[in-house]
Amino acid sequence: MSKKEIYQKEEEKLTEIFAEVEDSKRRLVEGLIEDAAFLKSENFALKETLSETGMVNFHPQQKQMQKPVEAAKQYLKNVNSYAVIIRTLNGVLNKNILDDEDELSDFE
């Protein structure tokens, strides 16, 4: 799969998840959805590279000497950013669900 395909798949998935959310909230999170899709696609490419290189370079003669691969550092930063975005999006979804339940409780 290409980075572009990963991006499109993630964006479609998140957009579908937010299909039932009210328009104002959905517009509010559009940028976060795009950022999440971008990070997902970037990490896909980084992960492919890391599967070949590993996350740490070891000195050939002195194994105790090691240096993290720059791609590994970026991968971890991206994972953390992606997690924060997903947590934020989930908070918006949960708020939407609670709002819907409050509206339904008015009829009880």
The per-residue pLDDT for range 29-86, each reduced to its tens digit, is: 999 999 999 999 999 999 999 999 999 988 788 877 888 899 999 999 999 999 999 9
Residues with Cβ within 8 Å of residue 39, at least 6 apart in sequence: 78, 81, 82, 85
Lowest mean pLDDT among 6-10, 36-40, 99-103: 99-103
Write down the pLDDT at residue 70: 94
Task: Answer whether 31's CB lies under 8 Å from 103's CB.
Answer: no
